[in-house]
Amino acid sequence: MRNIILNDGNKIPMVGFGTYKATDGTGYEVVPDAIKAGYRLLDTAKVYENEEDVGRAIKKSGIPREEFFITSKLDRNMLGYENAKSELEKSLKRLKTDYIDLYLLHWPRPDYGKSDFDDWKKLDIESWKALIEMQKEGKIKSIGVSNFLPHHLQNLLNHTDVVPAINQLELHPGYMQNCACEFCKTHGIALQAWSPIGRGRLNESMILESIADKYHVSIPHLCLVYLHQENIIVLPKSSNFERMKENMILDDIAISEEDMWKIRTMPQVGWGGEHPDCERIYL
Ligand SMILES: NC(=O)c1ccc[n+]([C@@H]2O[C@H](COP(=O)([O-])OP(=O)(O)OC[C@H]3O[C@@H](n4cnc5c(N)ncnc54)[C@H](OP(=O)(O)O)[C@@H]3O)[C@@H](O)[C@H]2O)c1
């Protein structure tokens, strides 16, 4: 599995396992299966309510902690200096570890309708300063953000001297958020794709279907290979062992430049409906 080096010098695998809705807290063996399939990057968050499952699966695997790359995230409704510090401690406890490899501000603003929705600039800076301190203390190896658009990122750059290592965004064919991606590339921020296969919403795309047929892969697999060729870290979620394994095979297929352009320029389709600056719209 290929790794890349982040702007802070740390190494991260190009493929990770997305755990959102992958565990139900009843001991179902999805995360252990993902570890057996070869995943070492595990993406969790406080709001997924499965940090304990992830911690337990790692312990049970018998594989040394240092071989894993654990990502977790600060809940958007817990932004702020003190909250960031206490929330990280809780995550460490749930994950049964003394450090997290990557800790992200999950969203740049609290939920729409919360009284502090409009005060996001101050909240983000305070939270980011807390993450910087906890990184210096060794509790977090790399710090980053998720769902940050250029104006949210610029706010952090204006008031602190640590550039996020990663921005985790919804990215897949049909929703490539080019403006945010360009900003990240310019500032040396690595891109990580959530919902890299669009939770199955791209399966009806005729453009993707014709390209997938040409390379003898499924549409979900094509989406992952496309993102991989764009140098974007992918976090597919699957509860099926065979699909977990399939989703890690990204170097054996080479999409031609002409087909890459066809995917890059296809009409917008399949986005999840969550935008950081407005009310959540679940599609
Ligand atoms: N930062 C954020 O705000 C944010 C938001 C959402 C998600 N995330 C992260 O990103 C991860 C992935 O996103 P996601 O779970 O929304 O969606 P996703 O990975 O794009 O799609 C998951 C769906 O695709 C199916 N699937 C997986 N591999 C497949 C394959 N090879 N062929 C056919 N179907 C396949 C899965 O079904 P089966 O299980 O049946 O295989 C599941 O229904 C999450 O788990 C989470 O870690 C982050």
Tens-digit pLDDT profile for residues 81-115 = 999 999 999 999 999 999 999 999 999 999 988 88
- Is the per-residue pLDDT at 283 higher than 50? no
End-to-end CA gap in the chain: 33
141 lines ligand 1 (CB under 6 A): no
- Global model pTM greater than 0.85: yes
Residue 81 is among the residues annotated as catalytic for this protein: no
Ligand 1 atom with least separation from CA of 20:
45
Kind and range of the H or E run holding 87: helix 81-95
Predicted pLDDT at 213:
98
Domain boundaries, the chain: 3-264
Q: Which residues, including other chains, have CB under 8 Å from residue 237's CB and lie 6 or more apart?
A: 17, 18, 19, 20, 21, 22
Q: Could you tell which of 111, 237, 244 is best to mutate to test the pocket of ligand 1, judged by most ligand atoms within 8 Å of the CB?
A: 237
Q: Which residue's alpha carbon is at the smallest distance from atom 47 of ligand 1?
A: 18
pLDDT of 112-123, one tens digit each?
Answer: 888 888 889 999
Instruction: Note the CATH number of domain 3-264.
Output: 3.20.20.100
State whether the beta carbon of 72 lies less than 6 angstroms from ligand 1. Answer: no
**Angle of helix 30-37 versus helix 51-61 axis, rounded to 10:** 50
Of residues 115, 26, 130, the one with CA closest to residue 77: 115
Instruction: Determine whether the shortest distance from the Cβ of 155 to ligand 1 is under 6 A.
Output: no
Which candidate in 39, 48, 175, 226 is catalytic? 48
